Amino acid sequence: MNFKLNKNADIFGTFLIGTIDVSTKKFTDRFGKFDTNIIDLNTIGTVSEKTSMEFIFTSEDEKRTYTIYDYKQTNVYDSDLEDVVQFWNSESERVLHIGGFCENSKELDEFKEWIYKELEDKKWSWSFH
């Protein structure tokens, strides 16, 4: 199963269904990065004051939707925590949350495997909807 970034997918009602350990730098290099010159922590486009970035993925048939996001890990949430730019540019692995509509472990594992494969694959192609 393949997935694509889909910033227009309906995510209302998604909830935490798992986590994934990845280098946030690798992740943003592959799936997109915000412009560090225009970051305003008050208007960064946060989902809430607890999350600095969120990525929305759907399966190719758009029957499955997942979100990947940080949660209470940057100075967007607490000024004593790591700077949001440093967090998303980290070479070391970080725990990111996965949100979805269903806790089906087989489907979640397929999504996680796809993410890991995409991060290893050097032939990246962008697909936005």
Per-residue pLDDT of 57-107, as tens digits, reads 999 999 999 999 999 999 988 999 999 989 999 999 999 999 999 878 899
Q: What is the model's pTM?
A: 0.83
Name which residue leads in pLDDT, 124 or 105: 105
- Residue 41: partners with Cβ closer than 8 Å, 6 or more residues away: 75, 76, 84
Q: Which residues pair with 10 in a beta bridge?
A: none
Residue range 94-116, pLDDT digits in tens: 999 999 998 788 999 999 999 99
**Which of the four pLDDT bands, split at 50, 70 and 90, describes residue 42?**
very low
Burial label, 31 (beta-carbon count in 10 A; 0-12, 13-18, 19+):
middle
pLDDT at 103: 79
CA of 79: how far to CAs of 14, 84, 124, in Å?
Answer: 27, 10, 35
| 75 neighbors 82 (Cβ within 8 angstroms) | yes
With CA atoms as reference, report the closest residue to 90 among 10, 13, 44, 21: 21
